[in-house]
């Protein structure tokens, strides 16, 4: 994947022990990026991601940490810089769901989702921007630093029974855009990817049974569920100079889920 020109860069990918984060870490590793593979509880899984990257000749390190804790975010950014010399790319991917009907949703589950998905993205981005400013500009990159938020189609699609998740993702949209506006003049690029239904552990109930999958596919005009690699390839492009003029953008990777599919034959 040399054509992306990403070798000699280093990245921190949060929530990289499974799902979309794992695929992004492995894709960046294939592109020559040295990767900090953050995990929360999946130490063995993170070690496996590191092993997969190293097996392809790449460099990676597993980093435990809770993105909702400022000291953990600081430690992870410092660890990537200490190990690989610098931090060039943050992929703020860590995210969880704790679903419940509105009146059954506990304050603890509201807070945990907002803390991880929104506050966690804020804290990691804050540490990354501080790091980008503190280190010399990268020798072979047009941007001084690059942040990619992994958002969701639910930054625009309301989602009954998931108000904590949808609120975290709606909040992330304006976090991303406001930050992009604030730091673009420093040549720090901030963008997002909004995946639709991607086959990962977070939405297993939506694809593991045939009837659920059939219902899910009704919502996807392109007629298939996404794979983590669909998102990972776009993340590598967004992290590279090939997307240098892309600033404050959200790339929807959703097989058309945001196209109001039920209007195909109505309205």
Q: Of the residues 165, 222, 245, 260, which is catalytic?
A: 165
Q: Which is nearer to ligand BGC, 145 or 170 (CB)?
A: 170
In the complex, the smallest distance separating the C-beta of residue 199 from ligand BGC, rounded to whole angstroms, is: 9
Q: Is 18 in the site for ligand BGC (CB under 6 A)?
A: no
In angstroms, what is the minimal distance from the CB of 152 to ligand BGC? 3
Q: Would you call 165 a catalytic residue per the annotation?
A: yes
Select 229 or 241, whichever has its Cβ closest to ligand BGC.
229
What is the DSSP track for the chain?
-GGG--TT-EEEETTTTSHHHHHHHHHHHHTT-EEEEEESS-HHHHHHHHHHHHHTT--EEEEE--TTSHHHHHHHHHHHHHHHS---EEEE---------GGG--HHHHHHHIIIIIIHHHHHHHHHHHHHHHSPPPTT-SSSEEEEEE--GGGTS--TT-HHHHHHHHHHHHHHHHHHHHHGGGTEEEEEEEE-SB-SGGGHHHHSSHHHHHHHHTT-TTSS-B-HHHHHHHHHHHHSGGGTT--S-EEEESTTGGG-GGGTT--
Q: How many residues bind ligand BGC (CB under 6 A)?
A: 9
Q: Which of 154, 173, 189, 199 binds ligand BGC (CB under 6 A)?
A: 154
Asked if 250 touches ligand BGC (CB under 6 A), the answer is no
Q: Which of 74, 97, 248, 250 binds ligand BGC (CB under 6 A)?
A: 97
Nearer to ligand BGC, 78 or 227 (CB): 227
User: Which CB, 22 or 154, lies closer to ligand BGC?
Assistant: 154
Give the residues lining the site for ligand BGC (CB under 6 A). 97, 152-154, 196-197, 202-203, 206
């Amino acid at each position: 994947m040399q054509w992306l020109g990403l070798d000699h860069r280093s990245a921190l990918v949060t929530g990289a022990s499974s799902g979309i984060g794992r695929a992004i870490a492995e894709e960046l590793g294939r592109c020559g990026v040295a990767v900090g593979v953050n995990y929360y509880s999946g130490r063995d899984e993170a070690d496996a991601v590191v092993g997969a990257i190293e097996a392809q000749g790449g460099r990676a390190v597993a980093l435990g940490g809770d993105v909702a804790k400022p000291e953990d975010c600081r430690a992870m950014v410092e660890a990537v810089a200490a190990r690989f010399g610098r931090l060039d790319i943050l992929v703020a991917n860590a995210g969880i769901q704790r679903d419940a009907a509105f009146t059954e949703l506990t304050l603890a589950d509201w807070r945990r989702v907002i803390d991880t998905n929104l506050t966690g993205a804020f804290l990691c981005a804050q540490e990354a921007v501080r790091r980008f400013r503190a280190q010399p500009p990268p020798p072979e990159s047009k941007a001084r630093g690059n942040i990619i938020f992994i958002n969701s189609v639910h930054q625009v699609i309301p989602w009954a029974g998931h108000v904590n998740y949808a609120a975290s993702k709606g909040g992330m949209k304006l976090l991303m855009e406001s930050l992009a506006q604030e730091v673009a003049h420093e040549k720090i690029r901030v963008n997002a990817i909004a995946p639709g239904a991607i086959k990962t552990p977070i939405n297993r109930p939506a694809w593991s049974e045939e009837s659920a999958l059939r219902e899910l596919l009704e919502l996807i005009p392109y007629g298939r569920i996404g794979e983590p690699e669909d998102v990972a390839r776009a993340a590598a492009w967004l992290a590279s100079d090939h997307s240098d003029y892309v600033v404050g953008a959200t790339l929807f990777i959703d097989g058309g889920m945001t196209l109001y599919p039920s209007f195909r034959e109505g309205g």
